[in-house]
Structure 1
Amino acid sequence: MGYTFTLRTIYPYLGTLWQAAGLTLALSLLAIVISIVLGAGIAILRRSHSRLLRFIGAAYVEVMRNTPLLVILYIVYFAGPSIGIRLSSFNAALIGLSLNSAGYMAEILRAGLIAVAPGQFEAAHAQGLTALQTFRYVVFPQVFRTIYAPLGNQVIAVILASSLASAIAVDEVASWMETVGSTSFRFFETFVVAAIVYLVLCQAVNLGRLGIGRMLFRQGAVAR
């Protein structure tokens, strides 16, 4: 007999699926917030007048963008205890995902800063604006418009990358998929369900990005 696709055996596990999806979303959103803060600091280092600070910022970006996230997670979770740092699987995943994403965030934010012409700062200073006012009213609106689309793409990338947290025992969607598949022996069905969950999460972010973009940038189209 041929293989019969059925979701009936998956129904009893749907309750834990929503918990896993919630954990995936929480992990991803926290990692995004932390990586934006870290990325902003690194982007500033990369724009510094100090050659040493520029080197430190560039080195961080290159290391994080050229090291697999799985390796970073293993280092944080498994190597940490050897130097006295013991973290829960969730916290280790959050730190590893944030550190990795910060490397990409730094380049996104740096591109936004580069897009602001130096004359903008001079004009703001000539108008008597303080440094904080210059950033709020002159720099940030231009930077945000430039980074809006790639920032949304990075949010989606982090959601997808969070699936690797299952390797260090975080009970998110990929972990649910592995557990339910091995328990029910309906691997194909669990793979399809997990793929649908990730698709829904990512499309929700994308639709939200487009909707918010249309409200914020009514005079210009938001790049897809």
Structure 2
Amino acid sequence: MFDYDFYWSMVWAKFPMLLDGAFLTIQITVLSVVLGLLAAIPLALWRRNGKGTLALFAGAWIESARNTPALFQIYMAYFGLGAVGLHLSSYTALLIAIVFNNAGYLAEVLRGGLEGVAPQQAPAARSLGMNAFQSFTYVIFPQLFRIIFFPFVNQVNWALLNTSLGMMIGLRELTGATQMAQAESFRTFEFFLVAAGMYYVIAKIISLGALTAAWRIFRD
């Protein structure tokens, strides 16, 4: 029989610590996605070009990000760079590692989206008198946005969950704060159950927000 006495009062007493960790988790998630997307745009274009040093650089970044564990990437940012004299805080190391990871995945999402837009679209727009900026803004981007929207949202949730690895380098994001709270109270099950629920709620808010936005944007 399941025999366990729950002590939720301990969770409530330390709940502000979990909230602080959750806010830090959300902050790192947002920053890593924004910076990752900014890095992914040139990576996708260089990889799509397929020639020269920049294409090789983009290929190495993307393959490394997608084919090595995120925890390894975090360790390389924190311990690896520290070994060569570049000492980063836990926050900075985690952010850099998740930006690196996001950029690799988002570059492929963007490249796949660009491949999904018919190549005749740009010349057709130019033949109507549009310049390059107008053809991308009014013709290419709306089609690209529709293709990449949901893969992008999935990557946001992936980044959110990857922040939990910050615990391994001493960062008190949500998982790190949960680990600290349970270590002080010895109530492992309650704290990690609540933390799992908090991750679930944040991820569902992102997903439902994306579905609502998609309904409004794509309903035509």
Q: Same fold (TM over 0.5)?
A: yes
Q: For residues 193-213 of structure 1, give each alpha carbon's deviation from its aligned partner in whole angstroms, at most 9, with x where no partner exists.
A: 110010010000001000011
* Distance across 1 between alignment mates of 2:54 and 2:125: 26
Shift of 1:140: 0.9
Secondary structure of the corresponding residue to residue 4 of structure 2: coil
Shift of 1:35: 0.8
* Distance across 2 between alignment mates of 1:195 and 1:187: 12
Q: For residues 66-92 of structure 1, give each alpha carbon's deviation from its aligned partner in whole angstroms, at most 9, with x where no partner exists.
A: 111111111111122333322221111
Q: Which residue of 2 aligns with 1:222?
A: none
The letter of the residue matching 2:184 is T
Q: For residues 89-135 of structure 1, give each alpha carbon's deviation from its aligned partner in whole angstroms, at most 9, with x where no partner exists.
A: 11111000000111110111111100111110111111222221121
Q: Which residue of 2 aligns with 1:79?
A: 80
Identity percentage over the alignment? 37
Q: Which residue of 2 aligns with 1:175?
A: 176
Q: Which residue of 1 aligns with 2:65?
A: 64
The letter of the residue matching 2:96 is I
Shift of 1:33: 0.3
Q: Which residue of 2 aligns with 1:203?
A: 204
Secondary structure of the corresponding residue to residue 2 of structure 1: coil
Q: Which residue of 2 aligns with 1:5?
A: 6
TM-score where L is the length of structure 1: 0.93
- 94-103 vs 41-50, which deviates more? 41-50
* Distance across 1 between alignment mates of 2:209 and 2:140: 24
- 3-12 vs 114-123, which deviates more? 3-12
Shift of 1:52: 4.2
- Structure 1 unaligned regions, length at least 5: 220-224
Q: Which residue of 2 aligns with 1:189?
A: 190
Q: Which residue of 2 aligns with 1:153?
A: 154
TM-score where L is the length of structure 2: 0.95
* Distance across 1 between alignment mates of 2:171 and 2:140: 39
The number of residue pairs the alignment matches comes to 219
